[in-house]
Structure 1
Amino acid sequence: MFYELISSMAILVRSKLICCALVITILSIIIATGQSLELLGMLRPLPSVLGVLSLGGMALLWRDISSKVKGENRTLSSLLSQYFAVKVVGWLGKRQRGKLEADTLNIRQVQEETLLKRLRKNADTCYGKQYDFSSIKDCEAFRTRHPVTTYEHYRELVTRVAAGEEKVLIAEKPLILAMTSGTSGASAMLLSTKDTNTEFFLQGVAVCLDAMRRVFPASDSLQRTTKLFYSPTFRQSEAGIPIGPNSSTPASSRHMLNLYTTPAPAFQVPSERDTLYLHLLFALKDPSVGTLESNFASTVFYAFSALQERWQELVEDIKLGRVSPALALEPGVRASLEGQMKPDPERATQLLTHFQQGFVGIARRLWPQLNLVLAVDSGSNQIYGEMLRERYCQGIPFYSPFYAATEGLIGVNLWPEEERRRYLLCPRSMFCEFLPEASLDQETPEKHTLLMEEVQEGHSYELVVTNASGLFRYRMGDVVKVVGFHNQCPVVEFQYRRGQMLSVRGEKVSEVMFLGALKRAISQWPGAQLVDYCCAESAIMGESCGGSDPHYQVFLELKGVRNLTEEQRYKLDQCVQEDSAVYKSFRFKGSIGPMRVQMVAEGAFKELRKQMMAFSNTSANTFKMHRVLRRKEYADFLLGKTI
């Protein structure tokens, strides 16, 4: 998430060091070839002075580097790359944080500047000419002229871009055609541009690194990171534009892979299961890991689940200095990986002791110098973050840095120390409008949108964005709650995706509401621990739904209990009634039938995840579990796993 985006900065720093060396070399040449005794006399003291300064500077530099190094087997080049990249981005982070603070003092002007910048850049496109972007001078003119849109508005235009037509939506050729994760419907294909990536780095990565170091100063040390990510499969459009997920990948991180525990050859392995094994193997070899990082907390949770299943095999590999023969690896890849292994019975004995003590708090025992888990744990990833903190990662701080989507950067978390995940909207990333929750189903939503300075604390809104990559007044489907302001800028909490709302009679039970009710119900089931869950509306299930009245089908994977009584199952229905007066009213009238709560076998959701990724071509880096199933085959799959 972070280091691949600062790789270019590291390269820049190294080039500047080369320039400095070149200057010194030129001075030396001048000294060596001085044409007059006078010039030579003037320059003769310089080598001594430069030598003393260089040696002194190098000594100070090395002392600073040495004080930050933790762990062994680091090459000088990797240490220098990390050190200078961190220094440069640290400086950049302070600078960008200052800009952000200034922007939050004048939100209306900054938002209008952001909008007009987008319109001017794309005024000469087919789309820009259609809406006469060149004549728009302010926000109100834009909002009057341009409708609120959904993906259907862009589908045919994106198809033209994919076929190679230029200047359709945006002035430049997109870097990739980015596929959304499809959690609330079919995956959409959006454009991703250089501007999108630049904004994400400057307004997101740099600012969040600054916030992280202020709160977690130990994260500034020169330790390796275990980055859990995978090489996605890209395909090509007719015009040769890559189609795939718009997220950090091993390929985009190639300049910085030496800062991660996983060696580069591991990312040539096509199997996610085998790549995860290699992530774990090389992380376990290094007791000085400083950060566990992934896009989402779910990926970290799945990694610890795999560790719990395969720890004996991993310990044996470390003891013998090999890579498990059970992994299906190309001979060249296996040879490269095994070349980085050597027998380490001492570390294997340490690991064996840690695992035999159980998996509660295992992360801290495996990596005593672990500073941070860096992953988004809000929204649909909330339950995974909670399970990690309660079990595997007890005592380890978590930082959920961004609120972002395929559409681009939305907000940054400036309060890493808080458990509550709230995000300051980034006023120069997108032009934002807000559709009040009460107006979500209005036929003319453009009449109801508000601007940043018009929203109210405590109210919920759907985000409507104009971004850097060809979306204009676009309904994202994300509903957020304004929980405060930082100067004039709204601070929000993610609430739910519109497509992930339960509604069989118009009652509209959101993801956040249902999860709150579910957690209260589980707290009243002795010994029960939630592993995963999802729901389906009875209408999609046909004859398999088991009841005539419309109702919710709820699938739960639990630990600590083998079964639930009918009374316990009904407790969930009661908890939802307590939170939703409309649902309670329909239940009282009999218009909605009682929930059918089904327990599924261990591992059912892991298998469902594989099916969902295969169907939607979603990468493991971007997958988010669907909390409301919209496809009958997914619901039928879980019905087949009930116990």
Structure 2
Amino acid sequence: MSRPETDLLDSLPAELSQQLKDRVDRALLEFIRPNSASQFAQEAPELAKFREAIAQNDSMDDREFLRIFREFVPTTNYEPYRPFIAKFFATPCKEADVKNMFAPGLPYFLAMSSMTSGKSVKTFLKYLPPSHLLQHPLYLALPPSEGTTLSPSSLKYSRILTIDCEDGQSKQVTVCSLSIGFLRMAMNWDVEHDNERLDLWLPGQTDPYAISSVKSYRAFFVLNALFALTDRGVTTIRFFFANVFVIFLQYIEDEWSLLIDCIEKGIIPDVENLGHLRAPLEKLFKPNSDRAAELREIGPPGIQGWAVRVWPDLTRFIGITGGPAAASVPKITHALGPSVFTQSPGYGSSEGGVAITYHKGDPNTDYKVVLVDVVTEFLDVHSNEPSEHVLSIHELVAGGHYEPVLTTRNGLWRYRMGDVVIVKGFAPEDGLPVISYLHRREGGIVMAFGTTCTESQLTNAIVSAANRWIGQIMDFTIVGDDRDTPITYGYLVEIGGEIGKDARMAIQQTFEDLMAANDEFRTAFWQGRARKPTIRLLKKGTFTEYRREKCDKTNISISQVKVPVVLSDQKFREWFLERVRIEL
């Protein structure tokens, strides 16, 4: 579909710049004034100079408070917060020990990071925001939609923490993904009453509540496919990571006969580990022979526009298509057809929501920074200034590459995200910057020859080469290939369908693309310190199995598992290499 033309400003007029500066100041004060009384702000060594400056200042008006923040609060990473968060995992956990830890009161839940890098899990406290913000797109786990939405929702949580309160009662707090926490927050669902909701439908969704509690990976996808195929009125498909939709389609294809037979007869298939969830699902699922006949005539996924034949009212697909998910875009667009509008859900992380989709640009890659959950400052990644030279929004330059730094409603102080974004320009209505994600700042493999290709360079090279020479990529990851010297980028790729007859040409094209994209790599090659990348193809279903393994190993939700562009986990590196079926 055609995209609207962007109307971004290349620079900020003086009046708009001042208005934006004032708006940022108000938002920043809204966060740091109450959070400055938190345990973290009062005890963290990193904020010692901030506390000292506050104590020595008799006049504490807003202007002076902001000056002290900007002058004395350094940038931070996760380590300063770790010992404070650990107090929630103590047994027993007393309210007095964790109250007002990062923000006033007790958190609603603890959000888990997705651990893409293979490092230990990070958790972030999430407090209940002001009630009027619960309807903001950043907090909406189930955005409104005409018709029904296909958006498989898991309520799987890692664990439940019990806080012993001062009044003799106890409070249970879940440790879960951000999307699950926001869903529970929006619906006011506590874990104590989960079993009482098994007969409910998630509002406007194709899946009943009971499916969100299914723990088996295969059962989760099969049951979501069953109820989604039965519902002809789907208007929106939403998968947080777009490439998970490819897995969903693969389950439909593999289980097509079973699914159609179940729809015709109104039965829940014999999938594993349903237990007490089977009865409510059987109660909600009715036979539909007409729909079964219609689906049989359409057939399983494969033809272009299959999705709009199954769901004639489908108009929109929402999902992240950047990073490793970019490899799945051709298959997704083939299944959806040209009439379905695609967009990203926004830009942020477990740390905080930074930006929402900018529909006046490319809704898959362009995001408008908002001042709702965080105040975002920036580090110029190409600057020679010290890392503490933090830029405010109104100081940015169109075309500049920056690392976002977050001060959040939930108590993070100048937290470095580690991403690199580009500023596309400024929204004319309010001056807020429109950004696009580029790559992780330290996301590449530093090879023996000392160069690092970025995630986006590595991704673009293999996606382009595969589309031309290998076939449709289902997923990929990259490891350091040290079987020869010097070490090089070792692509591990899973494709769908047959291998192209000239697949080996993909190695040369990938190499040429990296040479063109990265000056350091090109120099290292001509000096004999680098060699061509390698490409090895994996067995069918490898990445589906990987996601299942990650779910079981980390107890995070199915929807949160993402595949790293660069794999650092040594155990999973060997796991992938055992599944190589051919090398190009």
**TM-score (ref. length: structure 2):** 0.82
The CA deviation at 1:482 is 0.5
Quick check: 1:298 aligned with 2:248? no
| 1:110 counterpart residue number | 23
**Given the superposition, is the C-alpha separation of residues 287 and 461 from structure 1 closer, same or farther in structure 2, using an over 3 Å criterion?**
same
Q: Based on CA coordinates, which of the two structures has the bigger radius of gyration? A: 1
Q: Could you tell me which residue of structure 1 aligns to residue 100 of structure 2?
A: 167
Change (3 A) 1:607 1:630: same
Match of 1:267 in 2: 212
CA deviations 1:278-324 (Å, max 9, x no partner) are 11111111212222223221332221121111111100111122111
Q: 2:157 aligns with which of 211, 224, 233?
A: 233
Aligned to 2:411: 470
SS of 2:129's equivalent?
helix
Superimposed CA distance per residue, residues 533-585 of structure 1 (whole angstroms, 9 cap, x where no aligned partner): 111124xxxxxx31131211111112331676554323312211111111011
Number of matched pairs: 521
**Does the CA contact (< 8 Å) of 2:324 and 2:459 recur in 1?**
no
In structure 2, the residue matched to 1:453 is 394
Asked if the contact 1:399/1:416 (under 8 Å) is kept, the reply is: no
Q: What SS is found at the alignment partner of 1:154? A: helix
- Percent identity between the aligned chains? 23
Q: 1:528 to 1:486 in 2, by over 3 A?
A: same
Amino acid of the structure 1 residue aligned with 2:333:
R
Q: Matched residues in 1 for 2:310 and 2:462: separation?
A: 33
Match of residue 532, structure 2, among 574, 584, 594: 594
557-566 vs 630-639, greater mean Cα deviation: 557-566
Query: Structure 1 residues 196 and 506, CA, compared in 2 at 3 Å: closer, same or farther?
Result: farther
The equivalent position to 1:243 in structure 2, one of 166, 171, 175, is: 175
The structure with the greater share of residues assigned to helix is 1
SS of the residue 1:187 aligns to: coil
2:425 partner letter: G
**Which residue does 1:202 correspond to in 2?**
136
- Provide the C-alpha distance between the structure 2 equivalents of 1:367 and 1:475, rounded to a whole number of angstroms: 42
CA distance in 1, matches of 2:87, 2:533: 46
Match of 2:259 in 1: 314
Q: Give the match for residue 279 of structure 2.
A: 335
Aligned to 1:491: 434
CA drift of 1:417 comes to 7.6
- Residues 350-396 of structure 1, C-alpha deviation per residue, up to 9 Å, x if partnerless? 10110168443211111111122223333443333443112345532
Shift of 1:181: 0.7
State the SS of the aligned residue for 1:503.
Answer: coil
- Counterpart for residue 83 of structure 2: 156
Distance across 1 between alignment mates of 2:296 and 2:18: 55
For residue 598 of structure 1, report the CA deviation from its aligned partner: 0.9
Q: Deviations over 1:591-613 (max 9, x none)?
A: 22332211111111111222233
Deviation at 1:162, TM superposition (A): 4.2
* Pair 1:617 & 2:555 matched: yes
Instruction: Show the counterpart of 2:125.
Output: 191
Q: Runs of 5+ in structure 2 lacking a partner?
A: 1-14, 43-47, 164-171, 190-199
Relative distance call for 1:370 and 1:281 in structure 2 (3 A) is: same
Q: Contact 1:196–1:468 (CA<8 Å) still a contact in 2? A: no
- Aligned equivalent of 1:346, options 286, 290, 293: 290
- Aligned equivalents of 2:297 and 2:553: distance in 1? 41
Query: Which residue is 1:80 aligned to?
Result: none
When residues 319 and 305 of structure 1 are mapped into structure 2, their CA distance, relative to the original with a 3 A threshold, is same
Aligned counterparts of 2:234 and 2:105: Cα–Cα separation in 1: 41
SS at match of 1:500: coil
Secondary structure in 2 matching 1:537 = strand
* Counterpart check, 1:283 vs 2:228: yes
Q: Which amino acid aligns with 2:305?
A: G
Look up the SS of the partner of 1:204 in the other structure: coil
Cα 1:602–1:196 change in 2 (3 A) is farther
1:147 and 2:60 equivalent?
no
1:248 aligned counterpart, secondary structure: helix
Alignment partner for residue 531 of structure 1, among 451, 468, 474? Answer: 474
Note if contact 1:379-1:494 (Cα within 8 Å) is conserved in structure 2: no
Matching residue's letter, 2:519: A
- Work out which of the residue numbers 325, 335, 359 in structure 2 matches 1:391: 335
Distance, in Å, in 1 between the alignment partners of 2:217 and 2:69 is: 46
One-letter amino acid of the structure 2 residue matched with residue 297 of structure 1: A
| Contact persistence 1:287–1:367 (CA under 8 A) | yes
SS in 2 for 1:391: helix
Aligned partner of 1:8 in structure 2 is none
- CA gap of 1:153–1:524, structure 2 versus 1, over 3 A, is same
1:428-458 CA distances to partner (integer Å, 9 max, x unpaired)? 4322211112259x8x410x32111111111
Higher mean C-alpha deviation, range 616-625 or range 108-117: 616-625
User: 2:129 and 2:371 mapped to 1: Cα distance?
Assistant: 15
Q: Deviations over 1:491-542 (max 9, x none)?
A: 00011123422321442211111122223322441x622211111124xxxx
SS of the residue corresponding to residue 195 of structure 1 reads coil
Say which of 342, 347, 360 aligns to 1:403.
347
Task: Report the counterpart of residue 569 of structure 1 in structure 2.
Answer: 507
Q: Does the Cα contact within 8 Å between 2:39 and 2:102 map onto a contact in 1? A: yes
Deviation of 1:630 after TM superposition, in Å, equals 0.6
The residue type paired with residue 116 of structure 2 is T
Structure 1 residue 140 displacement after superposition: 3.6
SS of 1:445 mapped into structure 2 = coil
Cα drift, residue 326 of structure 1: 4.1
Post-superposition CA distance 1:104-134 (Å, at most 9, x none): 9821111111112222102222333343368
Q: 2:111 — aligned with what?
A: 178
DSSP-derived class of the 1:530 partner: strand
Q: Contact between 2:145 and 2:236, CA under 8 Å: does it hold in 1?
A: no
Q: Which is strand-richer, 1 or 2? A: 2
Against the structure 1 CA distance between its residues 256 and 349, is the aligned structure 2 distance closer, same or farther, given a 3 Å change threshold?
Answer: closer
| Contact 2:344–2:364 (CA under 8 A) maintained in structure 1 | no
User: 1:430 maps to what in 2?
Assistant: 374
Give the stretch that moved more between structures: 273-282 or 308-317: 273-282
Equivalent position of 2:10 in the other structure = none
- What SS does the corresponding residue of 2:535 show, helix, strand or coil? strand
Query: Mind listing any 5+ residue stretches in structure 1 that lack a counterpart?
Result: 1-101, 210-218, 539-544
SS at match of 1:592: coil
Shift of 1:258: 4.2
After superposition, the C-alpha distances for 1:230-280 in whole angstroms (9 at most, x for unaligned) are 121331346353222121367555687142222223334321321221111
Structure 2 CA distance, aligned partners of 1:418 and 1:567? 32
Question: What residue in structure 1 maps to residue 197 of structure 2?
Answer: none
Structure 2 vs 1, CA of residues 138 and 378 (structure 1 numbering), >3 Å: closer, same or farther? farther
CA contact (8 A) 1:208 1:401 kept: no
Q: Distance in 1 between matches of 2:155 and 2:289?
A: 31
In 2 relative to 1, CA 421–243 (structure 1 residues): closer, same or farther, beyond 3 Å?
Answer: same
Which residue does the alignment assign to 1:39? none
In 1, the alpha carbon distance for the partners of 2:141 and 2:107 equals 25
Alignment of 1:554 with 2:491, yes or no, is yes
1:120 aligns with 2:33: yes
